[in-house]
Amino acid sequence: MAEETKVESPFACDMNSMSAAERERHGVLVRKMLGAGLERREVDSGYAFRLDGNRIALAEAAEWVSLESKCCPFFDFRIDLAREGGPIWLTVAGRPGAKEFIRAEFGF
């Protein structure tokens, strides 16, 4: 049996992967995400962001992940919601090179 070769997408955002309406919504959500950021932590293969749940809803963070994964399919995303009204943590990570790409894109 032939070995299956997995092609990895390059580290480059493809905004054309979204419709015009999705790009507009993505822009709105990016601004909300930036305004909701309370803390940033470096993790092994990316970054984790603590979000203010009073500034962005969990559903909006999930919607951003859904849209962002279209233009940046090389990222792994994880949303953690702590019990008892605790914080929302969004982790963006990926294969080797992802952390450096995040750092460059966000200007860390």
pLDDT in tens, the chain (108 residues): 555 667 788 888 888 899 999 999 999 999 999 999 999 999 999 999 999 999 999 999 999 999 999 999 999 999 999 898 888 999 999 999 999 999 998 887
Q: How far is CA 94 from CA 2, 54, 59, 64, 75, in A?
A: 27, 28, 22, 17, 5
Q: Based on DSSP, count helices (H) and strands (E) in the chain, helices before strands.
A: 3, 4
Q: Cα 31 to chain center, whole Å? A: 13
